[in-house]
Amino acid sequence: MRSIGEMARDSGLSVSALRFYDRGGVLVPAWVDPASGYRWYGAEQLEEARLLARLRRAAMPLADIRLVLAGWSGADSGLVRGLFQAHLRRLEAGLSDARDEFSTLRAILDSREKPMTSPSTAAVRLTLSAPELAGALDAVRFAVGRDPELPVLGGVLFDIEGGTLDVVATDRYRMAVARTATTGHAGTPARVVVPTPLVDSMRALLSGEEPVHLSVDGDRVTLETGAGRTAGPCLGHDFPDHRRLVDAPDGRPAPVDTESFREAVRTGPVVQGDTSGPGGTAADLTLLKVTDEGGVTLGDDRWGDQNQVAVNRAYLLDALDAGARERLVLEIGVATAPIAIRRPDDEHTFSLLMPVRLEN
């Protein structure tokens, strides 16, 4: 007999996924300890678990997987082969439809496309507080994208308007925004995307308390501090309009003690989600729900309360760290709306995490 941990290690399915498939009647343990509720699996179930893992990676629906597992060890393999073929045809048809739609969308985009304008049309020079700029960069750095197919997301947007500088980063699955005050500029707005290496070089110079100077001239940005100077070209792409991206439905606010909540998330229950994040890797998900008393609970029963919202646990931990406050406010709405992590004393610095669809 294999314990659930051993079964997870040998099959490629997580412990939370094995619990889920047990509750759904897909892969039921050979024996459950009536005293502890601990699950044990027979040696012959390892092959079924590995098969299940492969079928899920191929995106086969659970209803079909049940039939495959039921017919896998039978003398007649016709049913199983038929299910494989039917699922493959569905995937091919779906891919063909998607290609047609994207071909049409590219044609529409080509007809609308205009020559790219310079990221900044006028030279800008402004003064900022070194600690405030350092804090703003720290608040967004975790959300910078790493997808080589989307190079514009591999940097931080510097959005200068009036007397403020907004810095924004997103990798599509999360977004972070922070604001710092400026002096010396109240003219034409400027928007430039600063590549990640230059952002990190800037952050390394922000160790003092003295004011620092940021200048943008065409496609080049420069930061001068008492510790040194760094400069480089901006990314020649248009960054998504972050103001539209943050226009999400309001969620229920729930204040949390950051340290204790972070520990609860780190050690708490998780469920296995569909692909999430760069590279299409599977993720451990934390289920969140705002209680009637205004607190946040962590769940592990996907068949239960539909008001629970699933979020990538690693991304949530990153956002809590970037919040940099003893207390933060989580805003949690419907299961399809982004989760917001806000500072109670700073409405302009926050993170958004996209919810993750649970396996079904």
Element (H, E) at 258: helix 258-267
Residue 303's pLDDT is 47
Taking the C-alpha atoms of residue 185 and residue 124, their distance in angstroms, rounded to an integer, is: 7
By percentage, how much of the chain surpasses pLDDT 70?
A: 89
Amino acid (one-letter) located at 1? M
Tell me the pLDDT tens digit for each residue of 272-324.
765 555 555 567 889 898 888 888 888 765 545 567 888 999 999 999 999 99
Higher-confidence position of 269 and 304 = 269
Question: What's the mean per-residue pLDDT of the chain?
Answer: 86
Pair 285, 354: CB distance under 8 Å = no
Res 337: pLDDT: 84
48: phi then psi, degrees, rounded to nearest 5: -65, -40
pLDDT tens-digit map of 153-205: 999 999 998 889 999 999 989 999 999 999 887 667 889 999 999 999 999 99
Alpha carbons 175 and 351: distance in angstroms, whole number: 6
Does the structure show a pLDDT above 50 at 115?
no
Residue 124 confidence (pLDDT) above 60: yes
What phi and psi values does residue 67 have, to the nearest 5 degrees?
-70, -40
* Higher local confidence (pLDDT), 133 or 59: 133
Residue 246 pLDDT exceeds 80: no
User: CB of 135 within 8 A of CB of 178?
Assistant: yes
What pLDDT is attached to residue 116? Answer: 42
Looking at residue 105, what is its pLDDT?
Answer: 87
What does the pLDDT look like over 192-243, one tens digit per residue? 999 999 999 999 999 989 999 999 988 899 999 999 999 999 998 788 887 8
φ, ψ of residue 296 to 5 degrees: the values are -120, 130
Q: How far is CA 37 from CA 19, 298, 305, in A?
A: 11, 20, 22
- pLDDT value for 331: 92
Residue 118 confidence (pLDDT): 45
DSSP one-letter code for 118: P
Domains contained in the chain, CATH given: 2-86 (1.10.1660.10), 124-243 (3.10.150.10), 248-353 (3.10.150.10)
Instruction: Report pLDDT for 123.
Output: 82
pLDDT at 225: 94
Residue 112 predicted with pLDDT over 80: no
HEC string of 33-89 equals CCCCCCEEECCCHHHHHHHHHHHHHCCCCHHHHHHHHHHHCCCCCHHHHHHHHHHHH
Q: In this predicted model, what pLDDT tens digit does every residue of 320-338 receive, in sequence order?
A: 999 999 999 999 887 778 8
Spatial contact of 195 and 146, defined as CB atoms under 8 Å apart: no
Q: How many CB atoms lie within 10 A of CB 265?
A: 21
